[in-house]
Amino acid sequence: MTAAGRVQDREAPPQSVLRRIAMNATASLAAFTARPRSPASASWWPTSRLAVGALVAIAVVAATMLLFDSWAIGHRRSLPTWLVLLFAEITDFGKAEWFLVPSGVLLLVIAVIASPALGRTAYLVLASLAARTGFVFVAVAVPSLVTTIAKRLIGRARPLRVDGIDIYFAPFSWRVDFASLPSGHTTTAFAGAVALGALFPRARPVFWLYAIVIAISRVILNAHYPSDVIAGALVGACGALLVRRWFADRRLAFAIRPDGSVKPLPGPSLHRIKKVARRLAGQ
């Protein structure tokens, strides 16, 4: 996320690649950790609302665990083999690498090439792209990390680990077969759907369909209970929304409206992106 607010109109002297990366990384970190710029930031999402939301989420997961998990896993065995094999191919698209690797590589590329020497317009285009790419990276990475830690602390046994339809826990067990709650794939899928949907509102139905299919695949493959995927969906979606608010408070890709809601800031047009790309290619 290259900070755009300090771009100078004058041409800057050439820099080494490592120095440029270090300067852009420092500027990005400063922008990400800066004090909120929105006057509405101090009062957003009061503690009482967060507490009520957390209690409701826990209640929904617990109710699903008690009333629906055993039934769903029991009926899952009657599914046709071809359907299970189909979802076995689909489910890997819920891995965090599908979001973190492309966005991380793009951030590194921007850090390498972004320089005031390119001119103010080109530098601002790259800064805008970096802010949006950084948002996707953080919005997926943070909820995924939370789930990775939480699921091993909770220690719920996976359906494949349990004989019959029994459900039990082994808290603080750092084992894969006791890492069912929440679902990591579902967390990633819903975090990615919310993040990309915030940047591309018209494509939200496609992103949500993707997330729901990934969540269903985890149950069909007997890797998770329905309550696991519900918990993962809540962590992923809410985590991405919290990250979006953090960015909006600092006017990075988003901004806060007077009523306290979040809106995306206008991004660079495709024409300007192509123009910058041609310049970087030396055309």
In tens, the pLDDT along 264-279 reads 998 887 877 777 777 7
Residue 254, pLDDT above cutoff 60:
yes
Helix (H, G, I), strand (E, B) or coil at 26: helix
Query: Mean pLDDT for the chain?
Result: 85
Residues 137 and 103: their CA atoms lie apart, in Å, by: 6
Segment 208-233, tens digit of pLDDT:
999 999 999 999 999 999 999 999 99
Residues 280 and 283: their CA atoms lie apart, in Å, by: 8
Go through 165-175 and write b for each residue having 16 or more CB atoms within 10 A of its CB, e for each that does not.
eebeeeeebee
DSSP string for residues in 210-254: HHHHHHHHHHHTTSS-HHHHHHHHHHHHHHHHHHHHHHHHTTSSE
Q: What is the reported pLDDT for 162?
A: 52
Which pTM was predicted? Answer: 0.87
> Interior CA angle at 155 toward 184 and 83, to 5°?
45
Mean pLDDT of 74-85: 89
Are 95 and 188 in contact by the 8 Å Cβ rule? The answer is yes
Residues 129 and 103: their CA atoms lie apart, in Å, by: 11
Q: What is the reported pLDDT for 5?
A: 43
Q: What is the reported pLDDT for 3?
A: 45
Residues 204 and 214: their CA atoms lie apart, in Å, by: 15
Q: What is the reported pLDDT for 9?
A: 41
Segment 98-139, tens digit of pLDDT:
999 999 999 999 988 887 777 778 888 888 999 999 999 999
Mean pLDDT of 43-48: 57
Mean pLDDT of 232-245: 95
Q: What radius of gyration do the chain's Cα atoms show? A: 22
Residue 10, pLDDT above cutoff 50:
no
Q: What is the reported pLDDT for 147?
A: 97
Mean pLDDT of 14-43: 75
Reference 125, options 277, 268, 275, 247; nearest CA is 268
Domain ranges within the chain, ordered by starting residue: 48-280
Q: What is the reported pLDDT for 15?
A: 58
Q: What percent of the chain has pLDDT over 70?
A: 87
Segment 141-186, tens digit of pLDDT:
999 999 999 999 999 988 876 555 455 788 888 888 889 999 999 9
Q: What is the reported pLDDT for 175?
A: 85
276 compared with 258, residue with greater pLDDT? 258
